[in-house]
Structure formats: structure tokens, C-alpha cells
Amino acid sequence: MYGAQALLALLLAAGDFSGEQAFRHTAELVRLGPRTPGSGAHARAVTYVRAWLKRFGAEVEEDAFQAVTPQGPVRMRNLIARFRGSSGKAVVFSGHYDTKVMPASGFVGANDGGASAGFLLEMARVVSQRKRVHDVWLVWFDGEEAYVDYTDKDGLYGSRHLARRWNETGTLRRIVALITWT
């Protein structure tokens, strides 16, 4: 874990990380409205994230899957940005970009999915400017919010899906650290 903490400290202490820019990203995502999977705001959030990542040369993967929720099957997609290093190992920073389904409240997840997504977007800019020993992967999980109540079958859909997939493909063996904001 020390290696990941040192990497994060280096990235943040270098003075290149802009809290103001991370906040602007958060505000932009919040302006889209509730980003529940399958909504128009959710699709616009994916477009926003992909466009930003493209500017900085990230390899972007959309990890699409279908989650079984208490409200039935829901299509979801994790976003994974990869910045290559030279070691064959990876450090992963993750958060989520979806919001809880709360139609009557207009919940926009500013301090949750919005802030973590904004942080990751600014990290993409900073990481792209650095020479890297390890790959740096930035992951925006989808479906992290529970539809009813957090249980082993409700919530954390994206992270559970990706953990299973990475375990099955052997990808987990490449990861030396994972820092998450959920």
C-alpha cells in the first residue's frame, strides 16, 4: 500500500493537481441532473468523461454489463481509462459516477458520485503528463448505489462485476494497489 500512497502524494504534491478543475468537473456532472443508469443524464455523463479522457490520450474501455436489481435487469457500464507504464503492473484509482434512484428528490450526488468522478477526471490530466513506472488505471464504476437497500444483492454492481471479471481474466494479479472513493 505504501507505493500507492507515495504515488498519490507525488501526484498531489507536485502542484499540478487542480482542486478547482476537479470541482468544475463535479459541477458539470451535477448540472446534468440525476445520473441513474439508463437515464439521459447518465448517457451525457459517459460522453463527458470519454471526451475529457480522449484529450489526454487515455485508452478507454466501456465495460458494459447487465445488473439484476430489485427493479429488474438494468444495463450498466463501467468506464476504465488506462495510462501505460513500463512495469506490467497497475495502480488503480476508482470512484463512481452514478446517482441513487430518488426521483422525488432530484438527488444529483454532488458529494458522492459527482466529486469522485470530478477527482478522477482531474487525475487523468495529471497522470497523462507524468512518466509512469506502473500503469495507472482510472475506473468510474456504474451502479454503485443501491436501488432499495445495500445488501449482497443490491448496490455496488459495477465494482462487484469488475472484480469478478478481473479475477476471472487474471487481471487482479497485475494490480499492486487500488485506491477507491465511493
Around 146, how many Cα atoms within 13 Å sit in the side-chain half-sphere? 7
Residue 107 has pLDDT above 90, yes or no: no
Secondary structure of 74-130 as H, E, C letters: EEEEEEEEEECCCCCCEEEEEEECCCCCCCCCCCCCHHHHHHHHHHHHHHHHHHHCC
Question: Residue 130: its pLDDT value, please?
Answer: 87
Question: Residue 47: its pLDDT value, please?
Answer: 98
Partners of 82 in the beta sheet?
59, 137
Segment 3-29 mean pLDDT: 77
- Which cell is 121 given? 477526471
Question: Residue 1: its pLDDT value, please?
Answer: 44
Tell me the domains of the chain and their CATH numbers.
2-180 (3.40.630.10)
Question: Residue 57: its pLDDT value, please?
Answer: 95
Per-residue confidence band for 11, with pLDDT thresholds at 50, 70 and 90: low
Question: Residue 40: its pLDDT value, please?
Answer: 96
Strands 72-83 and 59-69: antiparallel
The predicted-structure confidence for 44-93, as pLDDT tens digits, reads as follows 999 999 999 999 999 999 999 999 999 999 999 999 999 999 999 999 99
Residue 12 has pLDDT above 60, yes or no: no
